Chain A
Amino acid sequence: MRVNGVAHPPPQDPRRLLSDHLRHDLGLTGTHVGCEHGVCGCCTVLLDGAAVRSCLMLAVQAEGHEVTTVEGLARDDGPLHAVQQAFHECHGLQCGFCTPGFVMSVVGLLAQHPNPTAQEIEEGIAGNLCRCTGYASIRRAVARAAELSAQ
Chain B
Amino acid sequence: MTTRWFGAPVQRVEDDRLLRGHGRFTDDIDGGALECCFVRSPYAHARITSIDVAAAREVRGVVAVYTAADLPFGGVDLPLLIPHPNLTHGRTQRCLASEVVRYAGEAVAFVVAESRYVAEDAAELVHVEYEALPVVITPEAAARAENLVHDDVPGNVAAEMLQEVGDVAAALAVAPHRKTLHFRYERGAASPMEGRAVWARWSEAERKLTVYDSTQSPTSIRGGLAVLFGLPESSVEVIAPDVGGGFGPKIMLFYPDELLVPFAAMQLGRPVKWTEDRQEHFTAVNQERGQVHEVEVGFDDEGRVLALGDDFIHDGGAYTPYGIILPIITAAQVPGPYRIPSYRVRFRDVYTNATPTSPYRGAGRPHACFVMERTLDAIAAELSLDRVEVRRRNLIQPDQFPYDVGVAWQDGNTVVYDSGNYPELLDRALEKLGPRPPGDHVGMGLAIYVEGTGVGPYEGAHVQVLVSGKVIAATGIPSQGQAHATVWAQVVADELGVDVKDVEVTSGDTRRFSWGVGTFASRGAVTAGNAMHIAARMVATKAKHIAADHLEANADDLELVDGRVRVKGSPDRGIPLGAVAVLSNPVRYAFGGGTEAATQFAGKPRPGPPLQDGEQPGLEATGYYSPPGSTWASGCHAAYVRVDPKTFRLEILKYVVVHDCGRVINPLVLQGQIEGGVAQGIGGAFYERLAYDADGQLRNASFMEFLIPYATEIPPIEIDHIETPSPLNPLGVKGAGEAGVIPVGAVIASAIDEALGIPITEMPLSPLRLFELTR
Contacts and interface: CB of A to CB of B under 8 A. Distances in A.
B602 interface: no
B191 interface: yes
Nearest to A100: B21
Given A29-B28, A122-B711, A15 B117 contact: yes
Q: Chain B interface: which size bin?
A: 35 or more
Nearest to A16: B117
B677 A134 contact: yes
A34 B27 CA distance: 11
Interface stretch (B75-83, B203-211, B387-395, B712-720): B712-720
Given A80-B19, A88-B16, A126-B711, A95 B244 contact: yes
Given A91-B671, A95-B194, A128 B18 contact: no
Contact of A128 (B12, B22, B710): B710
B708 A131 contact: yes
A37 B195 CA distance: 14
B193 A130 contact: yes
A7 interface: no
B639 to A, nearest CB: 14
A135 B714 contact: yes
B25 interface: yes
Interface string B451-485: 00000000000000000000000000000111100
Contact of A131 (B24, B245, B278): B245
Contacts of A27: 30
B213 to A, nearest CB: 15
Contacts of B194: 32, 34, 95, 97
A144 interface: no
Contact of A95 (B277, B480, B711, B740): B480
B676 A69 contact: no
B591 to A, nearest CB: 24
Given A84-B19, A131-B191, A133-B675, 14 more contacts: A15-B117, A29-B21, A35-B703, A39-B703, A73-B20, A88-B12, A91-B12, A96-B18, A97-B25, A129-B193, A131-B190, A134-B672, A134-B676, A136-B714
Contact of A97 (B14, B193, B279): B193
A4 B21 CA distance: 13
Nearest to B118: A13
A150 B279 CA distance: 42
Interface in A90-149: 91, 93-100, 103, 122-123, 125-139
Interface of A: 13, 15-16, 23-24, 27-37, 39-40, 42, 69-71, 73-74, 76, 80, 84, 87-89, 91, 93-100, 103, 122-123, 125-139
A132 B481 contact: yes
Nearest to B704: A39
A146 B19 CA distance: 17
B192 A135 contact: no
Contacts of B22: 30, 71, 76
Contact of A135 (B21, B247, B671, B679): B679
B678 interface: yes
A94 B20 contact: no
B702 A37 contact: yes
Contact of B717 (A28, A129, A136): A136
A69 B708 CA distance: 25
A94 B117 contact: no
Contact of B28 (A23, A34, A134): A23
A37 B278 contact: yes
A97 B19 contact: no
Contacts of A34: 193-195, 244, 278
A80 B12 CA distance: 14
B11 interface: yes
B717 to A, nearest CB: 6
Interface in B712-747: 712, 714, 716-717, 740
Contact of A132 (B20, B28, B245): B245
Interface in B669-727: 669, 671-672, 675-680, 702-704, 708, 710-712, 714, 716-717
A40 B676 CA distance: 16
A104 to B, nearest CB: 10
B360 to A, nearest CB: 12
Contact of B30 (A24, A76, A138): A24
B485 to A, nearest CB: 12
Contacts of A32: 25, 193-194, 244
B242 interface: yes
Contacts of A80: 16, 19-20
Contacts of B21: 28-31, 69-71, 100
Interface in B192-245: 192-195, 242-245
B15 interface: yes
